[in-house]
Structure 1
């Protein structure tokens, strides 16, 4: 398995999708903002076809919502009851993942997660809070992938991205690193119960 810090070659569509994700996380595109295909096509120097593909991808992820004859817009903030449900479902998926990987984590897996935490600290030190949010997600995604590959990631990912619309942008706190460090330390020691407890404390 490639390391978490390995350079990935992204397609043009993936690069555009990543930029729009960042714009949504950063608040450049707040909830309910309507996205204009023509403006996006001009911004990225492409035809509207690839932009539609990106919009479809982000819709599947839960960040955007598309309606017939109305185009696409950033999804709305969840009602408190639905946000609570999302938190519960995400916790259940991640606890399931921890239970699956308890006896199969390799030294490379541990190093990959150490690298992600190092990147998280670097982003916090640089006060790049959009990057902090993205790396935070990548840490959890790595655990999910180790447990169930792309199939489990595809189940989990929309919950995470939809929940993000309810969060205020991360703007400080070393707790972000400390909470993830606690999860990793528990995994390294093979303490599934503690790892699950730390995950639940982090997901809120």
Structure 2
């Protein structure tokens, strides 16, 4: 297996919270860290910028994406619409193969829940419950939104305080999918996403009002 690229290393560090939202990414510092010229660093930053993980402009230091309160609300509103629609399309089409994939993804997300790569397990689970919808472009949009939300979550160390809650939601979602109960699954999904949004907003507000 080839070694991870510079872009992949930085992406992993952003999604794990090692590089929190608002962290500056100096080309000179990164070139020194990785022992390369600035050209591969610029290429890596361009890839991260294209996926929305960082903000970058020519001749300026890039920074890890830091969302405002309103931007977080907008992202979760879009997720509620898009993911609710995917789930509604998926459940009537689920086969034994889809349910088996959901079960595997549930185990994977549970195993990785308290690890640095928790976001990958979470993505895999949500991809699995929407797969039967057969809407790859819509699912790609959801993944982009989930990725930028994960950056903010990791930056506020939210995961460790809420792991049990969202793992319980994943299990209940799996049970509802197996039962073919769309109404219950939709209710659980909305609670799951609203809970993540509300906790993140509380963390943002707490940090804003915390004395220096």
Question: In the alignment, is the contact (CA less than 8 A) between 1:95 and 1:199 conserved in 2?
Answer: yes
Q: 1:139 to 1:10 in 2, by over 3 A?
A: farther
Question: In the alignment, is the contact (CA less than 8 A) between 2:25 and 2:63 conserved in 1?
Answer: yes
The runs of 5 or more residues in structure 1 that have no matched partner are 1-8
Matched, 1:143 2:132: no
Question: In the alignment, is the contact (CA less than 8 A) between 2:31 and 2:38 conserved in 1?
Answer: yes
Aligned to 1:157: 143
More off after superposition, 193-202 vs 99-108 = 99-108
More helix by share: 2
Question: In the alignment, is the contact (CA less than 8 A) between 2:22 and 2:66 conserved in 1?
Answer: yes
Matched, 1:104 2:90: no
Q: How many residues align?
A: 190
User: SS of the counterpart of 1:97?
Assistant: helix
Aligned to 2:12: 22
Q: Is the radius of gyration larger for structure 1 or structure 2?
A: 2
Question: In the alignment, is the contact (CA less than 8 A) between 1:144 and 1:152 conserved in 2?
Answer: no
Question: In the alignment, is the contact (CA less than 8 A) between 1:32 and 1:76 conserved in 2?
Answer: yes
> CA RMSD for the aligned pairs?
2.6
The runs of 5 or more residues in structure 2 that have no matched partner are 198-212
TM-aligned CA deviation for residue 59 of structure 1: 1.9
User: SS of the counterpart of 1:73?
Assistant: strand
**TM-score, length basis structure 1:** 0.78
Match of residue 87, structure 1, among 76, 88, 108: 76
Aligned to 2:176: 186
Distance across 1 between alignment mates of 2:181 and 2:128: 18
User: SS of the counterpart of 1:174?
Assistant: helix
Matched, 1:120 2:109: yes
Question: In the alignment, is the contact (CA less than 8 A) between 2:87 and 2:129 conserved in 1?
Answer: yes
Distance across 2 between alignment mates of 1:182 and 1:32: 35
Match of residue 34, structure 1, among 14, 24, 27: 24
Question: In the alignment, is the contact (CA less than 8 A) between 2:98 and 2:131 conserved in 1?
Answer: no
